[in-house]
């Protein structure tokens, strides 16, 4: 069901109002605070021109999240005032048109304005986080030092990855990239670069002491700023960090396989952390290792073909979407355990080594293979999918559906009749397969399913490419699609006419039998 924007905003207001009832602190900053309340939004553009750096909060007084943020925002304003970093408040209830013009999606929205340009504030809504972020924004993008010893101290004290450049040939690229990535990384260089060419190095935030930095080696003389950005994003990920809503996209962007360790407590995580860091150091650039708190995100196990038995370990190849799970216990055995379940570190190490060598078979989520096909629509499951669609002698039409999908339910009768038509013809039934698979219960990694139903034809022939169906969901349209894109040249419309004639003849015969049965015996 689609909701228009006004309905969504109304719903947000209702939820936020409910949340706000439990909070006595107001969303509106007190008059004696350092927060600047801009009631006349016509002065906003001039405020942007007059202030090189500031943080703006777009809020509504009734908003529960705004009320929670309020005291933190006031504290941050007081702390940042001596640094000449103003914090601004704009009441979007009183200035709705203005806020719509800035595409404010909800409340509160925090935006950083720097040198006339704005970007969303991505930190926590706390005094400490706001202060830390804005102080960092006020510093030069590239930190310049007089000696390598000063840089070493800077790296040691940093909680973020640090990129250090001593390569004069990369200096322009280095500064350009620093402008792009300064929110998430620190950049350092010497006041005077050596005449002999040096390196561009990256120091991850969680690297063990004395760990060598990663050295950037451009693929060619034509390497671009984007090449350096991509390299930094991959190499700067923690050796063994946690994945959550804030870090998820960074790992997805790396495109490297992701090794998940689902842990049950911080103590359990700490027990395995050193060994995971060693594995991550050994396979850097080939595999990322992350921890996942199963008490918060345990349901994610279903997405990577794990049972919700923790601790657990699985490797997810993001490119192929295949999952490789460390074997788990049968449910009965897991339930019968009298002691906390543990995983041996050597089993994790062996699993990783086999994955790197290509010796692991993927873990495929699949319904049981049906012993009998109950209708002419052939039921495919995860373990049979590739075998069925790769049959070089048959044109195979597959409907990928979800049981809850309304469009799928409406299509079902038409799709069943389509299967009945091809099954009716002696020639067609061996050359065309009309199939379906529940894509929510079966792992189908080879198909990009963006919505339900997704319908794909796999034409006969070894080198045939699948074709996604985009037409009307009618018999005639399906007949034309299969005839035009299949390799077996079967005219579904002609078969349908014969199918209809046979059905009509069957009705006539049934009526004749009923007439005979209705006469009384003499």
Catalytic residues: 63, 66, 405, 408
Q: Within 10 A of 136 (CB to CB), how many other CB atoms are there?
A: 14
Cα gap 305→317, rounded to integer Å: 12
Q: Please name the residue that has the structure tokens 């004069």.
A: 168
b/e 432-450 (16+ beta carbons within 10 angstroms → b): bbbbbbbbeebbbbebeee
C-alpha Rg value of the chain to the nearest Å: 31
User: Which structure tokens are listed for 355?
Assistant: 């994955």
**Rounded to 5 degrees, what angle do the CA atoms 480, 405, 371 make?**
80
Q: Using CB atoms within 10 A of its CB, is residue 306 exposed (0-12), middle (13-18) or buried (19+)?
A: buried
Residue located via tokens 């990009």: 448
Residue 258 near residue 288 (C-beta atoms within 8 A): yes
Separation of alpha carbons 414 and 255, rounded Å: 40
Q: Which of 327, 326, 440, 328 is nearest to 382 (CA)?
A: 440
State phi, psi for 253 to the nearest 5 degrees: -65, -25
Site of tokens 């339900």: 452
Distance, C-alpha 219 to centroid of its chain: 29
Neighbours of 267 (CB within 10 A): 8
Phi, psi of 144 (to 5 degrees): -105, 130
CA distances from 192 to 88, 147, 170, 199, 373 (A): 39, 9, 14, 14, 76
**Could you give the CA distance from residue 364 to residue 385 in angstroms, rounded to a whole number?**
11
Exposed, middle or buried: residue 393 (CB in 10 Å: 0-12, 13-18, 19+)? Answer: exposed
Tell whether omega for the bond before 108 is within 30 degrees of 0, i.e. cis: yes
Report residue 2 as tokens.
């689609």
CA atoms within 13 A on the CB side of 198: 15
């Amino acid at each position: 069901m689609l909701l228009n924007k006004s309905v969504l905003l109304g719903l947000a207001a209702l939820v936020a109002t409910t949340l706000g009832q439990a909070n006595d602190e107001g969303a509106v900053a007190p008059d004696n605070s350092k927060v600047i309340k801009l009631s006349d939004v016509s002065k906003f553009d001039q405020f942007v021109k007059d202030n090189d750096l500031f943080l703006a909060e777009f809020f509504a007084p009734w908003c529960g999240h705004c009320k929670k943020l309020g005291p933190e925002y006031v504290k941050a304003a007081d702390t940042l005032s001596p640094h000449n970093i103003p914090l601004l408040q704009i009441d979007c209830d009183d200035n709705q048109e203005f806020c719509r013009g800035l595409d404010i999606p909800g409340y509160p929205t925090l935006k950083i304005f720097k040198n006339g340009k704005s970007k969303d504030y991505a930190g926590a809504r706390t005094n400490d986080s706001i202060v830390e972020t804005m102080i960092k924004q006020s510093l030069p993008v590239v930190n310049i030092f007089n000696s390598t010893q000063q840089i070493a101290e800077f790296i040691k004290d940093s909680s973020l990855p640090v990129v250090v450049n001593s390569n004069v040939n990369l200096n322009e690229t280095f500064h350009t990239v620093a402008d792009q990535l300064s929110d998430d990384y620190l950049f350092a260089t010497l006041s005077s670069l050596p005449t002999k060419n040096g390196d561009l190095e990256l120091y991850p935030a969680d690297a063990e002491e004395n760990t060598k930095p990663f050295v950037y080696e451009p693929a060619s003389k034509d390497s671009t700023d984007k090449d350096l950005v991509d390299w930094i994003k991959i190499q700067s990920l923690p050796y063994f960090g946690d994945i959550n809503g804030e870090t998820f996209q960074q790992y997805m962007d790396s495109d490297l396989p992701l090794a998940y360790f689902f842990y049950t407590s911080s103590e359990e995580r700490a027990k395995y952390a050193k060994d995971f860091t060693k594995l991550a150091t050994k396979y850097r650039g080939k595999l990322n290792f992350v921890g996942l708190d199963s008490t918060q995100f345990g349901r994610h196990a279903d997405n990577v073909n794990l049972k919700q038995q923790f601790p657990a370990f699985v490797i997810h190849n993001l490119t192929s979407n295949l999952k490789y799970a460390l074997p788990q216990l049968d449910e009965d055995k897991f339930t019968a355990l009298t002691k906390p379940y543990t995983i041996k570190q050597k089993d994790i190490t062996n699993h990783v080594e086999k994955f790197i060598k290509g010796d692991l078979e993927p873990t495929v989520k699949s319904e049981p293979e049906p012993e009998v096909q109950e209708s002419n629509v052939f039921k495919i499951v995860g373990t049979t999918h590739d075998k069925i669609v790769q049959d070089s002698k048959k044109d195979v039409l597959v409907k990928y559906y979800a049981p809850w999908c309304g469009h799928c339910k409406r299509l079902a009768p038409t799709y069943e009749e389509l299967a009945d038509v091809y099954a009716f013809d002696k020639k067609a039934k061996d050359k065309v397969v009309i199939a379906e698979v529940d894509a929510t219960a079966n792992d189908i990694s080879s198909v990009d399913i963006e919505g339900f139903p997704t319908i794909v034809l796999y034409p006969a022939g070894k080198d045939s490419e699948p074709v996604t169906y985009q037409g009307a969901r009618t018999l005639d349209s399906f007949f034309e699609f299969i005839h035009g894109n299949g390799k077996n040249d079967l005219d579904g419309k002609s078969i349908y006419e014969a199918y209809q004639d046979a059905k009509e003849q069957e009705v006539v015969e049934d009526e004749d039998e009923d007439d005979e049965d209705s006469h009384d015996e003499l």
